[in-house]
Amino acid sequence: MRITNQQIKKIGQELKKIFTIFITKKIPLFEVLKKEYLPEGLKPHTRSICWLAEQVILQNVKKFSSEFNLSDFEYPKSDISPYDAKFKIKNVSLGKDIFVNIKVTDSTKPVRKNDIASVKTLLNFYKHNGEPLIYFVVIRLKFEKNVIRFIEPVIVRYYPWVKDFVVNPRNEHIQSIYEVENEERSVDEFLKILRKKAKDKGLNVS
């Protein structure tokens, strides 16, 4: 049974609710190192802390799975997968897997285009999974000396609905501002647009 646009929206709303509760009620902040090891505090360098923050988010969302009505929580087998975790949401995902890509960003940075997925990795994922329910979840963080604090609001986007995305030919990634509006379209329409944009930029895709 093909999932409806209304159900896609409902899943996105539930994901936003889950991750908002997580960063406000469960783990709003975490200590990177003891103060004695960082007398001057942690220098703001997002790239070096993103992977650590993603691990804190993923491992603890898994830990609280039952409270969030999640089941069948799994990590991908490959590091180059377009998602960081998959799970089902009871009474929401209709027994289907939800694939989530966590994007961590510095809350002090200005709005700009960001990599949201590798073109070829995402196309290959769709090729082998039909019409997967894959979303990216954006969580902002703030540096506070030796502590990392998560900041609202959480942003959730369903990949096929990302409006006005571009393809960067230098790193072969889809790019978009995280705050981008939704444009409802089918998976087939999305893949057609993605392939055209990729080919226009000289990428060899099929």
Confirm if 135 and 13 have CB atoms less than 8 A apart. Answer: no
In this structure, whether the domain defined by 5-200 belongs to CATH 3.40.600.10 is answered with: yes
Domain boundaries, the chain: 5-200
Across 25-44, b (16+ Cβ under 10 Å) vs e yields ebbeeeebeeeeeeeeebee
Quote the CA–CA distance of 155 and 19 in Å, as a whole number: 9
The mean per-residue pLDDT over the stretch 171-199 comes to 97
Confirm if 150 and 23 have CB atoms less than 8 A apart. Answer: yes
Q: What pLDDT was estimated at residue 109?
A: 87
Q: What pLDDT was estimated at residue 45?
A: 67
Question: Tens digit of pLDDT for each residue in 30-77?
Answer: 998 888 888 887 776 677 788 899 999 999 999 999 999 999 999 999
